[in-house]
Amino acid sequence: MQLHILGICGTFMGGLALLARALGHRVTGSDANVYPPMSTQLEAAGIDLMQGYAAAQLDPAPDLVVVGNAMKRGIPVVEHMLDAGLAYVSGPQWLAEHLLPGRHVLAVSGTHGKTTTASMLAWVLEVAGRAPGFLIGGVPQDFGVSARLGDGECFVVEADEYDTAFFDKRSKFVHYRPRTLIINNLEFDHADIFDDLAMIQRQFHHLVRTVPASGLIVHPHGEPAVDAVLAMGVWTPTRSTGNGGDWNASLLVADGSAFRVQAPDGGEAELRWKQTGAHNVQNALSALAAAADLGIEPALAAAALGRFKGVKRRMELCGEVGGVRVYDDFAHHPTAIASTLQGLRRSVGKARIIAVLEPRSNTMRLGAHAGALARSLEAADLVQVYAPADLDWDAKAALAPLGDRLRVVAAVEQIVAEVAADARAGDHVLVMSNGGFGGIHQRLLETLAARG
């Protein structure tokens, strides 16, 4: 079968393309922005890519068009697809119909930590000999790819609450029918499609309704937004994580790089790893609880996580020049920003942290989180915020509580120049964005090197 994938260079759709190719389908695709690293990964798999969304891409017609959720009415290729009566389906529905049946699906959902937790869980299953398949919204460094079929029964999927397609406004995750479900946390996000937290909670309860009674739901202990979802009705056994939960952790090092895990049966395991931050401790507990439901002992799972390399773009060290370390992190929500910065602060002590933020997500650009951003950046010594002219809110006003620490800049070039001029040996530069941010990480390293 020939599939043509619209929006193929997104992490989810690109991963889907790799899975379809591995199943033996002929795969082509198009995107508004075809560039590395996803383009090279797809081309290496024998997938033909096209730039833009011209109607001619679907002539001759493929057997099936797989439509990404970035597609909208009015785009030429979409209008041609509809006018010609071509067969089409959303990415999540294709995954659910062609790859997930007959497998033990482990879905990782929540506002924060989905990619990292899904990567942890897939790695634990791999070390335990389960040879899992996975589709993750990032690249786990232990695997080097965002998706694979796997030879085992288990399939780990990052379960996003964003809408499915222009013709299916349900959250993506309702298609996956998991047997094991992790709900990491729940906050208001995606202001472009949800009016309030209650709308998101309703979608999460649709997901809860799909988990069988023979499955398991893992959730944080005492988190009101998640508790409210479960209070709508739950028909599946649950395990809670965190302080007072069925699974909990005792820190051995303040930054979370070492802790002792307590399992519900009284068993214990010690975990020492390269990750830091309270959020990653919580992510690990969720992965351990889900793995235990498959019979994987906590000691084995903890040993696996001790070797976990992390995920690209999650506190990834890009390089060090002249004693200045530059990190890349995907954080784009105030809670994630605060947790990442606090974890780094506990790790580096009194060393200076320079935070560089691009408010790039739709929710950030709309200003839905503007009131919470200043507090989330408190742990930084200096803050550079990229505010292009088309940003929908006044960054200087919203972040004024940061005082002299704040610089609001309208050009990436200026941020690079100012950070490079300010930085000194021992500093940690944390760049936060859910996009490419104009290649700022490499440009910073090159500018630091050039200054000598």
pLDDT tens digits, 246-255: 999 999 998 8
CA distance 395 to 407: 10
Beta strand 104-109 with 154-158: parallel, antiparallel or unpaired?
parallel
User: How is the beta sheet containing 428-432 ordered, strand by strand?
Assistant: 316-321, 324-329, 428-432, 353-357, 382-386, 406-409
Q: Beta partners for 406?
A: 383
Closest-CA residue to 98 (of 129, 71, 135)? 135
User: What pLDDT score was predicted for residue 141?
Assistant: 86
| DSSP letter, residue 62 | P
Candidate from 290-304, 418-432, 437-451 with smallest mean pLDDT: 437-451
User: What pLDDT score was predicted for residue 250?
Assistant: 95
Asked whether residue 66 carries a pLDDT value surpassing 70, the answer given is yes
Strands, E assignment, 330-419: 353-357, 382-386, 406-409
User: What pLDDT score was predicted for residue 452?
Assistant: 63
Residue appearing with tokens 């006018």: 83
User: What pLDDT score was predicted for residue 225?
Assistant: 95
CA distance 443 to 28: 33
Taking CB atoms within 8 Å and a gap of at least 24, the contacts of 254-261 are 254/346, 255/343, 255/346, 255/347, 256/280, 256/281, 256/343, 256/346, 257/347, 261/285, 261/288, 261/298, 261/302
Q: Kindly indicate the confidence band of residue 34, based on its pLDDT and cuts at 50, 70 and 90.
A: confident
User: What pLDDT score was predicted for residue 376?
Assistant: 85
Distinct helix (H) and strand (E) counts, the chain: 15, 23
User: What pLDDT score was predicted for residue 192?
Assistant: 74
Q: Which residue has the higher pLDDT, 340 or 166?
A: 166
What's the whole-number mean pLDDT along residues 131-144? Answer: 91
Tell me: cis bond preceding 37? Omega within 30 of 0 counts.
yes
User: What pLDDT score was predicted for residue 433?
Assistant: 85
Query: For residue 37, what are the contacts with CB-CB under 8 A and spacing of at least 6?
Result: none
User: What pLDDT score was predicted for residue 400?
Assistant: 87
Residue appearing with tokens 């290496």: 44
**How far apart, in Å, do the first and last CA atoms of the chain sit?**
56
User: What pLDDT score was predicted for residue 213?
Assistant: 98
Asked whether residue 366 carries a pLDDT value surpassing 70, the answer given is no
| DSSP letter, residue 381 | S
State the greatest distance between any 2 C-alpha atoms of the chain, in Å, as a whole number: 63
DSSP 80-141: HHHHTT--EEEHHHHHHHHTSTTSEEEEEESSS-HHHHHHHHHHHHHHTT---EEE-SS-BT
pLDDT over 90, % of the chain: 59
Candidate from 62-76, 136-150, 296-310, 361-375 with smallest mean pLDDT: 361-375
What pLDDT digit, counting tens, does each position of 148-191 carry?
999 999 999 999 998 999 999 999 999 999 999 999 989 877 76
User: What pLDDT score was predicted for residue 368?
Assistant: 66
| DSSP letter, residue 356 | E
Residue appearing with tokens 């996003």: 160
User: What pLDDT score was predicted for residue 318?
Assistant: 84
Closest-CA residue to 328 (of 436, 193, 431, 218)? 431
Give the chain's domains with CATH numbers: 2-93 (3.40.50.720), 100-306 (3.40.1190.10), 316-450 (3.90.190.20)
pLDDT over 70, % of the chain: 96
| DSSP letter, residue 230 | H
CA dihedral over 160, 92, 435, 322, signed as positive or negative: positive
CA distance 101 to 179: 11
Mean pLDDT estimate for the chain: 90
What's the whole-number mean pLDDT along residues 209-237? Answer: 97
pTM for this prediction? 0.82
Asked whether residue 126 carries a pLDDT value surpassing 80, the answer given is yes
CA distance 330 to 312: 9
User: What pLDDT score was predicted for residue 419?
Assistant: 84
What's the whole-number mean pLDDT along residues 186-215? Answer: 90
User: What pLDDT score was predicted for residue 90?
Assistant: 97
Q: Kindly indicate the confidence band of residue 71, based on its pLDDT and cuts at 50, 70 and 90.
A: very high
How many Cβ atoms are within 10 Å of 406's Cβ, its own excluded? Answer: 19
Q: Kindly indicate the confidence band of residue 364, based on its pLDDT and cuts at 50, 70 and 90.
A: low
Q: Which residue has the higher pLDDT, 430 or 336?
A: 430
| DSSP letter, residue 311 | B
